[in-house]
Structure 1
Amino acid sequence: MILVRDILYKVTLEKVVGNTAVAIRDLHFDSRQVGLDDVFIAIRGTQSDGHEYIKTACDKGAIAIICEEIPKDVINGITYVQVSDSQQALAIMAANYYGNPSEDIKLVGVTGTNGKTTISSLLYNLFTEAGYEVGLLSTVKIMVGAKQYKATHTTPDSLTINKYLSEMVAAGVEFCFMEVSSHGIHQKRTEGLHFTGGIFTNLSHDHLDYHKDFKEYRDVKKTFFDQLPKTAFAIVNSDDKNGEVMLQNTKAKTYTYALKSHADYKAQILENQFTGLLLKINNHELWVRLIGNFNAYNLLAIYATADLLGLDTIEVLQLMSTLESVDGRFQYLISKEKITAIVDYAHTPDALKNVLETINSIRTGNESLITVVGCGGDRDKTKRPKMASIAASLSTKVIFTSDNPRSEDPDTIIEEMEAGVPAEHYKKTLSITDRKQAIKTACQMANAEDIILIAGKGHETYQEIKGERFDFDDFKTVSELLTALNK
């Protein structure tokens, strides 16, 4: 039996009205899910204010209300707890409710603009192959050992995180690797979690529709490292100038990784081909199946993390050589006509630049590079012209198309992208709103040895238009189109 007072442990309380020694059934921050003897946490969100639904929650049987402002008309028999920050309280209460599962598992958080999914997913794969029971909380999927669940957010809400961590502990999971987004940090979803380690990948232009400016975006990421305990490790990419910023106030043991600068974990790219990379990591040479400079950084972070978690160096190197790319991250196929099609999640200017520069560093120059790219609706508009400029500058041909337009007009999004194309590259560009038609046109334009990059959606198997999700898979689409053209 769990009491209200049990879940309030470590929560900063401002005022309590009623009895905290009452038994509770479940916690909810959505009033629609509240049932008899549940606790309702009123959250002030971007779309609505949970305080407006306190009476609804009470009518549905809530026995306790957690809020930032106690209603004027309190109901007898219901406990009201006032806190200064409901989101923070929810996170701590969720951890308490599920028995603080993060303390019984080695939880490692991965944050940064690019690379979070690849690093967390490949760490999951590597540790699984090493014989451990492993958990994963990522954009692509949630794994509890070998059991898979569908992911809905990069960093789930606090209740969902702790629910899965609790399930992991029950299943004997020893390590869990988790993507930590700036939204998740800002909305206090990771409060109350005990992290064994934190990884910083890089920082570039993203989510400025949510954060006021780049400084706020950076500082939010930094708070994750500020909150790491002294028993944890913090490992950062020192080739990114923001890496040093992340470590300024952390209590954790600090480590660095880099390709260019001096670091605790250093790598050198000896060969870079479409079939993989030949790397030297801390004087150990290995061949890996992943491609490009950005993956060299990802692999270096994986190596460092495995080392800091105590795995044997030789075993780690052997396992790294067998790792394959994550779905939608530089995922490629070569058609019978020897056309290479690459699908990548690159949806920020920096990520797109990295992928295009990687392709250009491998191609001989005789092949055409045809890029199909769009930008999401209801998201940071300032990156649209930048992404178009990068695509046009680094490709032979570019087709601007629809991504996930959401509530916006896809043609308007494309026009905002086109505005960023330098005059000297404008003739290279073409705009086709229908994404399937855009990919089909790219396939028809391509000749033997040419390369098609389809950027922006990666692993996603849907397209979101006017509030509806339609089935759409870039990799499946280009595979079918290239097969059909080869018949």
Structure 2
Amino acid sequence: MMKLSALLQDIDILQNTVPGDPDIGEVRYDSRQVQPGDLFVAIRGYATDGHQFIASALEKGAAAVVCEEAPDGVPAIVVASSRRALAQIGGNRFGHPSRKLTMVGVTGTNGKTTTTYLIKHILEAQGIKTGLIGTNQNLIGDEIVPTERTTPESYELHRLFAHMVEAGCTHCVMEVSSHSLVLDRVYGIDFAVGVFTNLTQDHLDFHHTMEEYRKAKAILFTMCDKGVINMDDPASEKMMLDAACPVETFSAKLDAADLTAKDIRLHADSVDFVASADEGIARVHLGIPGEFSVSNALAALGTCRALGVPLDKAADAMRTAHGVKGRAEVVPTPTDYTVLIDYAHSPDGVENILRAARGFTKGRVIALFGCGGDRDKTKRPKMGAIAARLADFCIVTSDNPRTEQPEAIVEDIVAGMQDSKTPKEVIVNRPEAIRFALDMAQKDDTLVLMGKGHETYQEINHVKHHLDEREIVAEYFAQKF
């Protein structure tokens, strides 16, 4: 229980029609979860508007409602932004736990997950207990907390921060999506360091233009004490101009950056390079393949430098870092070809992983992929064109069709492959497509399964059906051998 006035502390209230100062049981932003004595916060969502469910929340016994527009006779606290109010309420409810943590936020189209894991690994090698919030899962030290979205809603974020503090964490590194910045899920959080990995086409169904998408990510650099920015990305100059904090840069190509990579060597299962900064150089080995791994490693090293970890110590710690599930993940198989699983679901992501595979593959590169439904349709033919250009054989299949027809999504992808002579096969059923790919793979080939990554489901018409590509591969070989 907590007094309403305590939950509303420091919130700019436009109108308050709630009688007295009731005790509040829990804070809800989903009317279906409301119980007697709860506070319901009506937020305007991407698909639905919580204001439509105020009456339902009150029928279920809500003691009061926080909203932007209050119906007549409703015990309401009217605010300018319910989303921001929810974030502030979360901070008040859990004792502002983010203020007790050194917060690190990583934003960018690709590389966020791997970069956050590398930062966590380096910090914990220094004896710093670190929490993590991201796409794959949330971690409180070593405890795994499942996640539904890259950045949880603000109230759940503060609950997670509180658990981290209780568990003895002093630092938290989190992926910060463009959605979360625009929708105020991270409103009011002070980040010690903000990190920018890159900007490529994604989420244009939500942001509409690339510049709007970039500006969304730039919000992070108005919320942090120091920025760490990838100088190799074309958007970096604008990101630095928009930053309201000192910025340090990293680059795998340019000498002008604060942290650079020299003598880069790419291997089938790792990368090696020499990291160079004002304080000296350090030899870096990271057991994740691909040129993009150099950028991710630099982002992590630059972040840890900004947090006070010497470059040589950070580089030493990185040697023992393992790959992240669903990111250039090598699937164990009793065969003489390689199977990779990667989360690539944007044009740049597809290009990165296929270039990485091309770099070490002696035989053919076989690309299997689809595109998600109810998302940016303009990237579909682009992903098809890139795959046809970089792979020796393409298998176009279904990803998460959501409420769209899988066949229609496939047609959009294939449209971008019409001018290519690269052979392709269309098999909409994803498990069937994977088995087809395994059947055709030969010695020294690399089969790249793109799009699902860490996911163990396929979403069709709002229902998540179990689908783990690792299991499909394992079952295939169990039957074959």
Q: TM-score range by the shorter chain?
A: over 0.9
Matched residues in 2 for 1:483 and 1:359: separation? 26
Aligned to 2:36: 36
Deviation at 1:226, TM superposition (A): 1.9
Corresponding residue of 1:53: 53
Deviations 1:401-444 (A, max 9, x none): 0111111111111111111114232x511101111111111111
Give how far 1:37 is off.
Answer: 2.4
Task: Give 1:472's aligned residue.
Answer: 467
Q: Which amino acid aligns with 1:287?
A: H
Instruction: Establish whether residue 260 from structure 1 lines up as the match of residue 253 from structure 2.
Output: yes
Give unmatched runs, 5+ long, in structure 2: none
How far, CA to CA, are the matches of 1:335 and 1:415 in structure 2?
32
Deviation at residue 379 of structure 1 after TM alignment: 1.1
Contact 2:109 2:200 (8 Å CA) reproduced:
yes
- Is 1:424 aligned to residue 385 of structure 2? no
Q: Following the alignment from structure 2 to structure 1, what is the Cα–Cα distance between the partners of residues 123 and 283? A: 21
Equivalent residue runs for 1:64-463 within 5 Å = 64-74=64-74, 78=75, 80-228=76-224, 232-261=225-254, 262-282=256-276, 283-333=281-331, 335-364=333-362, 367-425=363-421, 428-463=423-458
Paired residue secondary structure (2:233): coil
Partner secondary structure for residue 324 of structure 1: coil
Q: Following TM superposition, by how much is the alpha carbon of 1:234 offset from its aligned partner in structure 2, in angstroms?
A: 0.8
Secondary structure of residue in 2 paired with 1:430: strand
1:106 and 1:176 in contact (8 A); partners too: yes
Distance 2:239 2:59 in 1: 46
1:482 positional shift? 4.2
Quick one: which amino acid aligns to residue 219 of structure 1? K
Q: How far did residue 148 of structure 1 move?
A: 1.2
Give the Cα separation in 2 of the matches to 1:339 and 1:234.
42
Q: Is the 8 A contact 2:109 2:199 kept in 1?
A: yes
Number of matched pairs: 476
TM-score using structure 2 length: 0.95
Q: What's the offset of the Cα at 1:126?
A: 2.8
Alpha-carbon distance in 2 for matches of 1:244, 1:483:
52
Match of 1:302, as an amino acid? A
**Partners of 1:4 and 1:20 within 8 A in 2:** no
What displacement does 1:296 show?
Answer: 0.5
Write the distance in 2 (CA, Å) between the matches of 1:299 and 1:253. Answer: 21
**Equivalent position amino acid for 2:51 in 1:** H
Paired with 2:348 and 2:20, the residues of 1 have a C-alpha distance of: 50
Q: Tell me, in whole angstroms, the C-alpha distance in 2 between the residues paired with 1:349 and 1:82.
A: 43
Cα deviation code 1:261-286 (max 9, x no counterpart): 22111112531111311111113223
Range that drifts further, 89-98 or 468-477 = 468-477
Percentage identity across aligned positions?
36
**Where in structure 1 are there 5+ consecutive unaligned residues?**
none
Q: TM-score, normalised by structure 1?
A: 0.94
The verdict on how the C-alpha distance between 1:293 and 1:269 changes in structure 2, with shifts beyond 3 A counting, is: farther
SS of the counterpart of 1:135?
A: strand
Q: Distance in 2 between matches of 1:301 and 1:221?
A: 16
CA RMSD between the two structures:
1.7
Q: CA-to-partner distance for each residue in 1:204-259, whole Å, 9 max, x for gaps?
A: 0000111121111111111121233xxx2111101112122223243322111111
1:264 corresponds to which letter in structure 2?
D
Kindly indicate whether the alpha-carbon contact (under 8 Å) linking 1:371 and 1:454 is maintained by their aligned counterparts in 2.
yes
Residues 440 and 481, structure 1, Cα contact 8 Å, conserved in 2: yes
SS at match of 1:406: coil
CA contact (8 A) 2:367 2:387 kept: yes
CA distance in 2, matches of 1:340, 1:101: 45
Q: Cα gap change, 1:53/1:287 in structure 2, threshold over 3 Å: closer, same or farther?
A: closer
Q: CA deviation at 1:30?
A: 1.2
Contact 1:199–1:235 (Cα < 8 Å) also in 2: yes
> Which secondary structure does the structure 2 equivalent of 1:216 belong to?
helix
Following superposition, the deviation at residue 72 of structure 1 comes to: 1.6
Shift of 1:370: 0.7
Task: Confirm or deny: 8 A CA contact 2:189 2:223 kept in the other structure.
Answer: no
Deviations 1:444-473 (A, max 9, x none): 111111110110111101111222222111
Counterpart-to-counterpart distance in 1, 2:477 and 2:367: 15
**Does structure 1 conserve the Cα–Cα contact (< 8 Å) formed by 2:361 and 2:444?**
no
1:49 Cα deviation after fit: 1.9
- 1:368-400 CA-to-partner distances (Å, cap 9, x unmatched) read 111111111111111111101100111100000
